[in-house]
Copies of this chain bind each other. A is one copy, B any other.
Amino acid sequence: MAKQPPTVGSSTFERIKRDIIFGTLAPGSKLKLDDLKKRYSASVSTLRETLNRLASDGFVAAQEQRGFFVTPVSKDDLREIASLRVLLERHALRLSIANGDTEWEGNVVAAHHKLHRMEVLMQAGDETEKETWKRYDWEFHLSLIRACNSQNLLSLHSKIYDKYLRYQMLVFTFRGEAAAAEHQGMLDAALARDPDTATKFLEDHINNGLTHTLEAM
């Protein structure tokens, strides 16, 4: 029962999305089909499908008759994204804390453990694992809200998270101890089933990250 190999379409989608999030494809740059064809070794049909999907997700801007561009960035857009992330993730966290069972707690603890290990490493100056660290960050935040009991909410949140992530990657700098403390605060409050404290830590966490990123832009 091996997982079937991903189709050209879905793997191209992931690759382009990743390249946009991690800045390999610069904000605002033109996405010429001919270039992409070489770069991702896929046909025009496949690429157009992919770009249309990414456009719907907001990573690509499609201009009728003029083709596709990497969605540009701006401070205002970042502020909007951060604010939406707060709105969605706070809400999901509250629901999750109210609904989560022991299984959920276990997953949260596990996710935090992995993230924390990585944070210690990064604070020691090791920056080789940026991507792993970001993945663990995502997994921790996701684990916290996973018991919110709304697929639609989780799906919306993950889209916003990815957009937020792009801005973080754009000006990459590690917030270190502060961010780690906020994560710890969220963990403790979640396990203590204290939604007010947990959401307070979350809100600070996102807003501090926002300030940090805005300053670096």
A-side interface residues toward B, CB under 8 Å? 4, 6-7, 10, 45, 48-50, 52-53, 55-58, 64-65, 77, 80-81, 83-84, 87-88, 91, 150-153, 155-156
Contacts and interface: CB of A to CB of B under 8 A. Distances in A.
Contacts of A65: 4, 7
A33 to B, nearest CB: 13
- Residue in A50, A56, A65, A151 whose Cβ sees the most chain B Cβ within 10 Å: A56
B80 A153 contact: yes
B49 A156 contact: no
Contact of A87 (B7, B48, B53, B91): B91
Given A7-B64, A52-B53, A53-B55, A77 B152 contact: yes
Contact of A48 (B49, B88, B150): B49
B87 A87 contact: yes
24 contacts: A4-B64, A6-B64, A7-B64, A7-B65, A45-B45, A45-B48, A49-B49, A49-B52, A52-B52, A52-B53, A52-B56, A53-B55, A53-B56, A58-B152, A77-B151, A77-B152, A80-B152, A80-B153, A81-B152, A83-B150, A84-B152, A84-B156, A87-B87, A87-B88
A49 B52 CA distance: 6
A155 B156 CA distance: 12
Contacts of A151: 77, 80
A216 to B, nearest CB: 21
Contacts of A57: 56
Contacts of A4: 64-65
